[in-house]
Amino acid sequence: MTILSIEGLTRQFKGLRAIQDLSFAVESKSITSIVGPNGAGKSTLFNMISGYLKPTAGHILFEGREITGKAPHLVCGMGIARAFQIAKPFPELSVEKNVLVAATFGRLGPRDRQATTEHAIEVCHLAEWRHQPASALSIGNLRRLELARAIAARPTLLLADEPCAGLNETETREVIDVLSTIRKSGVTVLLVEHDIKVVRRVSDRVIVIEAGRKIADGTASQVFSEQAVIDAYLGTAGA
């Protein structure tokens, strides 16, 4: 079942076309990764899906409903949450209170804030730090707090923006485990990630874009063996 459909999406910034006639669909309860070189248009794509930018042309459908150009709070209320690469929690609040704030907002409908908070903390393996202020957390724990705050919004689709960037091997494994657990809980994940090892390990499907256009779409083993992807993104066949 398709949860997100991108149809002919285009975004023009004066003389620059950041996204060009991009189309793909995301299957429910999957992890789909968007990869590509710097400047490929990945952040622009996420900004349009989450409502921060309006497309120049094209359509975005979420659970069969048009969300093209809707404001971010409306998109979030429909069930799309975004975890940003650079986490900006309330630094003086504890981990638990940061997540509790997020549980106040998000997808519309009945909610149990405390139960939602406990679930997000458990899924993201943050129980040990629940009473610590966010300002005391390591980069790895901050990334998991960012994921926990997004999950506390009770999404059916999570946009995860480079959650493993700059992490060491142990921290990366922890985030991979969190992403897998999120998917197993029934939340669909659309992931932007530069770490090819992470993409290979977690992705059901990989979409490669270059200069705003889709150049490959398939399993990780399929797309990373295509010459166009090697040329545009990996640089060499052995990368």
Token couple for 44: 């622009």
pTM of the model: 0.93
Residue 42 has pLDDT above 70, yes or no: yes
Residue 235, pLDDT score: 59
Burial class (CB in 10 A: 0-12, 13-18, 19+), 25: middle
**In degrees rounded to 5, what are phi and psi of residue 87?**
-70, 135
In percent, the amount of the chain with pLDDT more than 90 equals 85
What pLDDT sits at residue 231? Answer: 83
Task: Average the pLDDT over each of 146-155, 185-194, 211-220, 225-234 and give the range with the smallest value.
Answer: 225-234
Torsion of CA 62, 88, 181, 68, to 10 degrees: 10
Q: Does the structure show a pLDDT above 50 at 64?
A: yes
Gap between the Cα atoms of 209 and 233, Å rounded: 9
Q: In terms of DSSP bridges, do strands 57-62 and 213-218 run parallel, antiparallel, or are they unpaired?
A: unpaired
What pLDDT score was predicted for residue 234?
Answer: 58
- Return the number of other C-beta atoms located less than 10 Å from residue 160's C-beta: 28
pLDDT digits (tens, 9 = 90+) for 151-194: 999 999 999 999 999 899 999 999 999 999 999 999 999 999 98
pLDDT band at 239 (very low <50, low <70, confident <90, very high): very low
Q: Domains in the chain, ordered, with CATH?
A: 2-234 (3.40.50.300)
pLDDT for residue 236 is more than 60: no
pLDDT, tens only, 121-156: 999 999 999 999 999 999 999 999 999 999 999 999
